[in-house]
């Protein structure tokens, strides 16, 4: 039997509708319009796509969207000055610097400089530490979206064997923390892991976040497992046509074995932007001393 497809279009649209309802409530009951500032440095084509999508979806949810574009050769000090300005701006509740930054810029210093209360990417060490300590934290968007998708299949992840492939600060590490908070039994695999296929075959839940097209093969998947493919590997389209996107999982093979699987495109990527909107609403509520919102 082929796997159930976990549809990012449907799940992200539902989440965005809930965000829009919360935004409308904040405006009516408290006179607050959540605001998101996105900083794009340089002109990486994929980043351009993501930033456009963030701007459009922020506005569609009824929030204020502030876009800041800087040239690839911007001095570090100028970028830091912009972050300081956004930290101090009361109309801005969320700040996101699109990654990767062009060569020569220190992304750790930039992330460090973002006010943790406005760090809607959840990458600032304060938020990463709070998440690891089980405290309220703004949580990185892709891991948050991945958990939401897994929970559309399993109401509880408690006791499940979860394998996270990849140990980046953006996805792998926060995903491990979120899975621990769900009481899953978590294994983290990376480039030095021995016998990844064998580890994979024991996993009830597989989260692939390595950045290598179709690396996880169908015969690595335990029959009936849930597979969340976080990879977005882009091959430029021929003759100026649309880019081709592949996940980290060999989808055609894996869907014949898995119980449920996310597609690429149309999977976790769509949840990343929806979760950014969630984080912006959460940040706005926390900044204004309001209770945690319903989303
Ligand atoms: N500061 C950050 N930078 C980056 C992040 C991040 O979370 N914070 N994640 C990725 C890129 N990303 C968001 O920024 C992102 C990736 C994918 C998608 C998405 O909608 N994907 C679609 C396909 C879109 C396309 O045609 O390219 C899908 O998977 O269906 C949105 C946002 C790296 N940088």
Render pLDDT for 100-158 as a digit per residue (tens, 0 to 9).
999 999 999 999 999 999 999 999 999 999 999 999 999 999 999 999 999 999 999 99
Burial class, 248, CB count within 10 angstroms (exposed 0-12 / middle 13-18 / buried 19+): buried
- In ligand 1, which atom is closest to the CA atom of 46? 27
> Within 13 A of 154's CA, how many CA atoms are on the CB side?
24
Name the H helices within the chain: 8-30, 45-60, 76-88, 107-113, 125-132, 141-153, 172-181, 196-201, 251-254, 268-287
- Residue 206 CB neighbour total at 10 angstroms: 29
pLDDT at 242: 86
168 is in an annotated binding site: yes
Nearest CA to ligand 1 atom 1: 98
pLDDT of amino acid 280: 98
- Cβ of 83 below 6 Å from ligand 1: no
Gap from CA of 21 to ligand 1 centroid (Å): 24
Label residue 27 by pLDDT band (50, 70, 90).
Answer: very high
Phi, psi of 119 (to 5 degrees): -80, 75
Q: Is 170 exposed, middle or buried (0-12, 13-18, 19+ CB in 10 A)?
A: buried
Question: Beta-carbon neighbour count of residue 69 at 10 Å?
Answer: 14
pLDDT of residue 240: 80
Which of 53-67, 79-93, 105-119, 235-249 is predicted with the least confidence, judged by mean pLDDT?
A: 235-249
Task: Quickly state the pLDDT bin for 1 (edges 50, 70, 90).
Answer: confident
DSSP strand pairing (64-70 vs 94-97) = unpaired
Judge if the beta carbon of residue 266 lies within 6 A of ligand 1: yes
My answer on whether omega of the bond before 265 falls inside 30° of 0, hence cis, is yes
What are the tens digits of pLDDT across the range 213-223? 999 999 999 99
Separation between Cα atoms, residue 54 and residue 63, nearest integer Å? 11
Q: Which one is catalytic: 98, 222, 248, 255?
A: 98
**How far apart are alpha carbons 40 and 91 in whole angstroms?**
19
Q: How far apart are the C-alpha atoms of 254 and 189, rounded to whole Å?
A: 19
* Annotated binding-site residue? 166: yes
pLDDT at residue 22, rounded to an integer:
98
Determine whether 121 is an active site residue. yes
Asked whether 98 lines ligand 1 (CB < 6 A), one says yes
Give the torsion through C-alpha atoms of 275, 279, 281, 287, to 10 deg.
180
Catalytic annotation, pick one of 57, 118, 121, 229: 121
**98 catalytically annotated:** yes
The finding on whether 114 has its CB within 6 A of some atom of ligand 1 is: no
For the question of residue 238 being annotated catalytic, the response is no
Domains of the chain listed by start with CATH number: 31-118 (3.40.50.10860), 141-270 (3.40.50.720)
Q: Cβ(164)–Cβ(172) under 8 Å?
A: yes
């Amino acid at each position: 039997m082929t796997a159930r497809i976990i549809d990012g279009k449907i799940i992200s649209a539902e989440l965005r509708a809930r965000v829009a309802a919360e935004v409308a409530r904040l405006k009516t009951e408290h006179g607050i319009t959540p605001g998101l500032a996105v900083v794009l440095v340089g002109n990486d084509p994929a980043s351009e796509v993501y930033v456009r999508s963030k701007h459009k979806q922020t506005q569609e949810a009824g929030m204020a969207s502030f876009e800041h574009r800087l040239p690839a050769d911007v001095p570090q000090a100028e970028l830091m000055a912009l972050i300081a300005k956004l930290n101090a701006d009361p109309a801005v509740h969320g700040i996101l610097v699109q990654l990767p930054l062009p060569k020569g810029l220190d992304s750790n210093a930039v992330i460090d400089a973002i006010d943790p209360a406005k760090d809607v990417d959840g990458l600032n060490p304060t938020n990463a530490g709070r998440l690891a300590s089980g405290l309220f934290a703004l949580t990185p968007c892709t891991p948050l979206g991945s958990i939401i998708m897994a929970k559309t299949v399993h109401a509880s992840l408690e006791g499940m064997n979860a394998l996270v492939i990849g140990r980046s600060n953006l996805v792998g590490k926060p995903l491990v923390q979120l899975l621990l908070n769900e009481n899953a039994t978590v294994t983290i695999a990376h480039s030095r892991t021995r016998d990844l296929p064998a580890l994979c075959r024991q996993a009830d839940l597989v989260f692939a976040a390595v950045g290598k097209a179709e690396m996880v093969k169908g015969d690595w998947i335990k029959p009936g497992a849930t597979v969340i493919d976080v990879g977005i590997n882009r091959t430029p389209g021929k003759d100026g046509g649309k880019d081709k996107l592949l996940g980290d999982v060999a989808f055609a093979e894996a869907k014949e074995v898995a119980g449920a699987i996310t597609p690429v495109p149309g999977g976790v990527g769509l949840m990343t932007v929806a979760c950014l909107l969630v984080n912006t609403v959460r940040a706005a509520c926390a900044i204004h001393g309001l209770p945690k919102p319903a989303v």
